[in-house]
Structure 1
Amino acid sequence: MTQDLLREIETFRQQHPAVTAVDVLLPDLCGVFRGKRVPINELTKVWKDGVAFPGCTFAVDITGDTVEETGMSVEMGVPDRICRPVTGTLAPVPWAAKPLGQVMLSMHDGDGSPFPYAPRALVENLVTELAQRGLTPMVAIELEFYLFDRDRAFDAPPSPPVSKHSGLPQNRTQVYGLTELEEFEEVMDEITAAAQAQGIPAGTAIAEYGPGQYEITLAHRPDALRAADDAVLFKRTVRGVAHKHGYEASFMAKPYTGQASSGMHIHMSVLDKDGRNIFAAEAAEGSDALRHAIGGMAATMPACMALAAPGANSWRRFQVGSYAPTVIAWGVNNRTAPLRIPAGGPDSRRVEYRIAGADANPYLVLAGMLAGLLHGLDGKIDPGPALAGNAYEAVDAPRLPDEWGKALDLFQSSDVLRQWLGAAFVDTYAITKRAERAKFNQRVTPLEWEWYLRG
Structure 2
Amino acid sequence: MDTDARFVRVVLTDTVNVNRVRVVPMLRFRHQVLTNGLGLTPALLGLPPQFDAVYSGAPVGEVTMLPDPSTIRILPHRKTHALILADLLLPKETHKTTTQAFPLDRHVFPLDPRALLKHAIYMLEQEFGLCVKAGFESEFILLEKDAKTPVDNDVYADMNTFRNHRVAETLDSMVESIQDMDIVVEHFHPESASGQYEIVTGYTDLLRAVDDLVMTRIVIKEVAQQVGGFHATFAPKVFADQAGTASHVHLSLWDVSSSSGNGKGGGHNAYCDALTLPSSFDAVKDVMTGNVTVGMHQFMAGVLQNLPALMALTAPTTMSFERIKPSYWSGAYQIWGVQNREAPLRVSHDGSHFEYKPLDGTANPYIALAGILFAGMAGMRDEAKLSLPVQVDPHTLSNEKRSELQIMRLPERVQQAQRLLKENAVLRSGFGDAMLDNFLAVRGKEAEYFDGLDAEEVRKLMIARY
* Fold agreement, TM-score > 0.5: yes
Q: CA deviation at 1:80?
A: 1.2
Match of residue 280 from structure 1: 272
Distance in 1 between the 2:12 and 2:163 partners?
35
Residue pair 2:186, 2:200 contacting (<8 A) in 1 also: yes
Residue pair 2:185, 2:199 contacting (<8 A) in 1 also: yes
Q: CA deviation at 1:446?
A: 6.2
Q: CA deviation at 1:65?
A: 2.6
Match of residue 33 from structure 1: 19
Match of residue 199 from structure 1: 182
Q: Secondary structure at the match of 1:63?
A: coil
2:147 is the alignment partner of 1:147: no
Residue pair 2:324, 2:358 contacting (<8 A) in 1 also: no
Match of residue 390 from structure 1: 393
Give the residue type in structure 1 aligned to 2:21.
G
Distance in 1 between the 2:309 and 2:163 partners?
41
2:374 is the alignment partner of 1:376: no
2:40 is the alignment partner of 1:53: yes
Match of residue 76 from structure 2: 94
Match of residue 210 from structure 1: 193
Distance in 2 between the 1:316 and 1:323 partners?
13
Give the residue type in structure 1 aligned to 2:342.
T
2:153 is the alignment partner of 1:171: yes
Listed as ranges, the matches of 1:211-230 within 5 Å are: 211-221=194-204, 223-230=205-212
Residue pair 2:67, 2:84 contacting (<8 A) in 1 also: yes
Listed as ranges, the matches of 1:108-187 within 5 Å are: 108-110=89-91, 111=95, 113-132=107-126, 133-150=128-145, 152=146, 158-161=148-151, 170-172=152-154, 174-183=155-164, 184-187=167-170
For normalisation by structure 1, the TM-score amounts to 0.86
- The counterpart of 2:316, out of the listed 300, 310, 315, is 310
- The counterpart of 2:433, out of the listed 410, 423, 439, is 423
Residue pair 2:327, 2:393 contacting (<8 A) in 1 also: no
Moved over 4 A (4+): 444-448
Q: Secondary structure at the match of 1:88?
A: helix
Worse overlay, 358-367 or 175-184: 175-184
- The counterpart of 2:297, out of the listed 249, 274, 291, is 291
Q: Structure 2 unaligned runs (5+)?
A: 96-105, 259-266, 277-288, 459-466
- Name the % identity: 26
Q: CA deviation at 1:408?
A: 0.7
For normalisation by structure 2, the TM-score amounts to 0.84
CA 1:446–1:176: 2 relative to 1, 3 Å = closer
Q: Secondary structure at the match of 2:192?
A: coil
CA RMSD, 1 decimal: 1.8
Distance in 1 between the 2:374 and 2:250 partners?
15
Give the residue type in structure 2 aligned to 1:117.
L
Distance in 2 between the 1:324 and 1:282 partners?
24
Residue pair 1:31, 1:232 contacting (<8 A) in 2 also: no
Q: Deviations over 1:15-63 (max 9, x none)?
A: x22x211111111111211111111111121111111111122111112
Match of residue 285 from structure 2: none
Q: Deviations over 1:159-193 (max 9, x none)?
A: 111xxxxxxxx124x21122214532211111111
Match of residue 360 from structure 1: 363
Q: CA deviation at 1:444?
A: 5.1
Distance in 2 between the 1:62 and 1:352 partners?
27
Q: Secondary structure at the match of 2:249?
A: strand
- The counterpart of 2:329, out of the listed 299, 323, 330, is 323
Give the residue type in structure 1 aligned to 2:271.
F
